[in-house]
Amino acid sequence: MKKLLLKSVVGLSPLLSFAPAYASFYDEVDGKFDLGHHIAENATGFLPIPILITEPALGYGGGIAGLILHETPEEKRQRKKAALEAVDGGAQLMPSAISIVGAAGSANGSWFAFGGHQHSWLDDKIRYIGGGGAGVANLDIYQDISIPGFETPIGDFPGFNKELSFATKTSAAAMLQKVQFRVGETALMLGVKQVLAISKVESDNKVVDKVFEFALGDKSITSGLGLYLDYDKRNSFFYPTQGYRLQAETMVYDEKIGSDSNYSNASYKGEGYVPLSRKWNLGFAGSYQKFSTDDVFVSPTTKPYIDLRGIAAYRYQGDEVATLQSQLSYNIDNRWIFSAFYGAGEAQNHADNGEGYIDAYGVGFRYQIARRYGLHLGLDLAKSNDDGAIYVNIGTGF
């Protein structure tokens, strides 16, 4: 559910495109529509962001969020200096503190409200990320049902290998916090992570709902602790164009730390960017997740799923999930970027030997809405064999 809350954010340039020049909504370098100056000149830079939900699993919807960039006078001075000296000035400068708050809802009755904060100290040698939220997610879950050894026809026996789908309603309140420490003067950050959530899962299928009630009770507590590694050599926090980032995380959920379920989840992610020329850029991203449990039953939204633009969330779940993506971008100028992308994913389930493979592709654009911060907002139009959707993203879209 966490990933669903963070997807689908759109910029507000249509709302402010008619703002007068004296309102500081135009850049001092190229004269284009820009919110960087407006954010920087406020004591606490505030960027209101309409939320557009187009996730196929949730349906259409919307809401509002606020991105708050907290800057000290010295950070403001450095950013203003960089902004005036280079066309992409400030892209490598990140405020030591960033907050976000928001709420949204969708056509299928899903809704969420959230808040989060990131803060760093000692020239980013120590970093803290924390947040929480509450909401309801109405999702369709797909499960392969088969008889081991009899999945395919044998003689007159037609075989038994069917896909069961059922609607679920997950009501949850959750919190997350992460503390990271930089290793010397390197780009390597090591840290610990905590997750705590209280949820209730229901289904419109009476049989499935009874199973949920029997296995999970009236409510379920999820409590997890883990280790986190982040090696970031990208040239920008908001929109990288060169360098790479590697992330590894292992989480353990156990009754000893207050969890009703016992399982573990290991996650590995990577992304990289290669400038092909002054105008062209090539990006890659990949991920691998492995889920393990000895419990007979866990919440249906616990297992990882293929998370790609153009594929509905939780449509392809598994004990092991891997994805690969590529994206080719073209800079029209220092403001507008157009891109084409392709991704593929595979989910494997060990219990029933089931697996699912799916690919997706699409096109998109970004507009640099705050040059001195390197902040890009835009749309992606993605399609797969199952679905098609418009995604609104901050950053590259990976």
- The residue extents of the domains of the chain are 35-149+162-394
The answer to whether the beta carbons of residues 190 and 181 sit under 8 Å apart is yes
263 CB contacts (<8 Å, ≥6 apart)? Answer: 253, 291, 292, 293, 295, 298, 302
Task: Report, as an integer, the average pLDDT of 366-371.
Answer: 91
CATH entry, 35-149+162-394, from 1.20.58.1030, 2.60.40.10, 3.40.605.10, 2.40.160.50:
2.40.160.50
Query: At which residue do the structure tokens 């187009």 appear?
Result: 54
pLDDT range class, residue 87, cuts 50, 70, 90 = low
Amino acid at 254: D
What whole-number distance in Å separates Cα of residue 169 and Cα of residue 110?
A: 9
| Torsions phi, psi for 99 (to 5 deg) | -125, 160
Q: Is 149 buried (19+), middle (13-18) or exposed (0-12) by CB count in 10 A? A: exposed
Query: What per-residue confidence (pLDDT) applies to 154?
Result: 56
The answer to whether the beta carbons of residues 274 and 281 sit under 8 Å apart is yes
* pLDDT digit string, tens, across residues 107-154: 999 999 999 999 999 989 999 999 999 999 998 877 655 444 545 555
The answer to whether the beta carbons of residues 301 and 170 sit under 8 Å apart is yes
What whole-number distance in Å separates Cα of residue 298 and Cα of residue 220?
A: 10
Q: Which residues share a beta bridge with 76?
A: none
Please, where are the H alpha helices in the chain? 2-6, 13-16, 36-40, 73-85, 206-216
Task: Report, as an integer, the average pLDDT of 1-12.
Answer: 39
Q: Is 153 buried (19+), middle (13-18) or exposed (0-12) by CB count in 10 A? A: exposed
Q: Which residues share a beta bridge with 170?
A: 137, 201
Query: What per-residue confidence (pLDDT) applies to 10?
Result: 36
Task: Report, as an integer, the average pLDDT of 41-46.
Answer: 64
* pLDDT digit string, tens, across residues 142-155: 765 544 454 555 55
What are the tokens at 61? 């919807």
Taking phi over 0 as left and psi of -120 to 50 as alpha, with beta for the rest, 124 belongs to: left
Task: Report, as an integer, the average pLDDT of 31-60.
Answer: 78
* pLDDT digit string, tens, across residues 202-242: 887 777 767 777 666 678 899 999 999 999 999 888 899 99
Q: Does residue 14 carry a pLDDT above 70?
A: no
- Beta strand 97-106 with 375-384 is unpaired
Amino acid at 172: A
What whole-number distance in Å separates Cα of residue 227 and Cα of residue 265?
A: 11
Task: Report, as an integer, the average pLDDT of 371-383.
Answer: 89
pLDDT range class, residue 346, cuts 50, 70, 90 = very high
From residue 351, how far is each of 145, 245, 251, 293, 320 by CA, in Å? 10, 33, 21, 11, 12
